[in-house]
Structure 1
């Protein structure tokens, strides 16, 4: 039995190290969820070692006999041979164990008490503010859907469609991650906006703090406040002039900084009573800079038409942007 507990502790120690990294891909996060939910003892061990890691007491507890942790590609994180930690070392971690008693009790009571999952959505022209369990808030734009999964060891949001502004409560232990289906954003505590425009395009803008973005295939970025990134397939574009405390759409404005017309139209169609269509798809590649009211589609179309010498017409139930006849 003692060897089995040591095996679990070793697996938990490896997971603590992996989960503390600035960037964690979605596959590793899924592996972690499967591991920790497999056995209540995994929850207890991870909580205990996480408390040590967070408090800086790991080196004190282990002294000179600490074993460096190394990353592993093994989904199950099988234990490696290691010298058992001395009994006297564990006597020093009693406060950390006590601090985790509530999590342990919940783990023994059942997995359902540990994991809280919710889904939120907005319709056409609607916005919504969602307060999460951890103190974070999510402001959702129109036609947006998110899935939220909060556990004692992780904070995960999936942006299934639309745009959302995240004001994340700072926690040293639990990262806050947003999965957009093509990129994963990880933070500890910050404010940032994510727009899932279509199947290929995601726009990330940082208003406070620092975020890590992982688009897979080794493509990773660290974005400080005031910067942003547009990912569209293999194309990457850096964004600047992210200067306000929150995106303009939260106040009913649309700020365009060299934004393609296709993106402008996509955003407008989330709130406009009349759908906007492009007579020629090539018009979507034209770039626009300006600030527009989201509830005034005609003024926005007038501005786009003036900038690029275009025209638009009212087709009754929709507006059509086109080249002059």
Structure 2
């Protein structure tokens, strides 16, 4: 009699389900899996044994001999919420089953290991001037602004994103048992489910909340809680952060191809424009105190400069390999 003939069919089914759900499972797959779990408590015990062993492998040091590949983002329909595994543990009377089948479950995990993908960070990026939307497998959506780089890992206990540089809007799926944590410069932004924007460039961090609550922490500072309409500004390696009221719709206008300014210092405007244009823009000291109000369309470099000159008393001049903005001379 072969090993496959003596294999517990419930354990084999649990392993098959585990492999199936690691891939691009559809809503129908999750529904069928739920029905299988509820059909017999032994199903849940067997699946938990397989999952627990895989988590141990996940937590173990990386081994170059194990398969590793990037899992690309997949499309998630607006009206579909991925199935969430139940949080409760198997009842005490079934604990013996998990223990009794541990060796067999371990053998199954090793058998299906080549079919599974070890968790890894997946990198996403945009070119200068590009805006990109990404749908993650957990139901969250990211919108990447110009010249942005993020790294994503959707772990079983926590969803981790590193914003390396640039700007991103996060619309996070609400999963209470899997917090969503964004690491950026020397801060961490922790949420369960919300919509917010992060801009990180040079040593300056700006977090703006459109919906829900986020907690920003770092160093020895206590976490700062932000709610709808609040914005945190933090300069790297400083001990304090500034919290102020902000209009989330204006901050997020870039996702629809617009940059909105209300009495914004020209140097701040130029710092943002430099993320979109190819030719560096510099503010002459004569225009350092100029404020800008208006809506700039994200367009060709020359068109954006011309519109900026209409909104503020400045003139542009090409000087070598850069564009210099100077205060417009006043008539006597």
* TM bracket, shorter-chain basis: 0.5 to 0.7
Provide the alpha-carbon RMSD of the alignment.
Answer: 3.8
Residue 144 of structure 1 contacts residue 161 of structure 1 at CA under 8 Å; is this kept in 2?
yes
Equivalent in 210, 213, 219 of residue 210 of structure 1:
213
Aligned twin of 1:173: 177
Residue 197 of structure 1 contacts residue 263 of structure 1 at CA under 8 Å; is this kept in 2?
no
SS in 1 for 2:323: strand
CA pair 257-324 structure 1, distance change in 2 beyond 3 A: closer
Q: Which stretch shows the higher mean deviation, 239-248 or 154-163?
A: 239-248
1:131 pairs with 2:153: no
1:322 pairs with 2:326: yes
CA pair 218-107 structure 1, distance change in 2 beyond 3 A: farther
Residue 225 of structure 1 contacts residue 242 of structure 1 at CA under 8 Å; is this kept in 2?
no
Aligned twin of 2:275: 270
Give the Å deviation of 1:190: 0.8
How do 1:185-204 and structure 2 match up within 5 A? 185-198=189-202, 200-204=203-207
CA pair 317-256 structure 1, distance change in 2 beyond 3 A: same
Name the CA distance, whole Å, in 1 between partners of 2:304 and 2:248: 25
Deviations 1:138-164, CA, capped at 9 Å, x for gaps: 110110001111111111010001001
CA pair 37-315 structure 1, distance change in 2 beyond 3 A: same
Give the Å deviation of 1:267: 1.7
Deviations 1:227-273, CA, capped at 9 Å, x for gaps: 11111243533232324398100111112345443332122122225
| Stretches of structure 2 lacking an aligned partner (at least 5 in a row) | 1-54, 62-84, 100-104
4+ aligned runs moved over 6 Å, structure 1: 33-36, 103-108
1:38 pairs with 2:43: no
Residue 203 of structure 1 contacts residue 229 of structure 1 at CA under 8 Å; is this kept in 2?
yes
Name the CA distance, whole Å, in 2 between partners of 1:37 and 1:279: 53
SS in 2 for 1:248: helix
Q: TM-score, normalised by structure 1?
A: 0.62
Give the Å deviation of 1:286: 5.6
SS in 2 for 1:247: helix
Aligned twin of 1:90: 92
Aligned twin of 1:228: 231
Q: TM-score, normalised by structure 2?
A: 0.61
Name the CA distance, whole Å, in 2 between partners of 1:163 and 1:305: 25
CA pair 286-219 structure 1, distance change in 2 beyond 3 A: farther
1:122 pairs with 2:126: yes
| Stretches of structure 1 lacking an aligned partner (at least 5 in a row) | 1-32, 40-50, 62-88, 98-102
> How many residues matched?
242
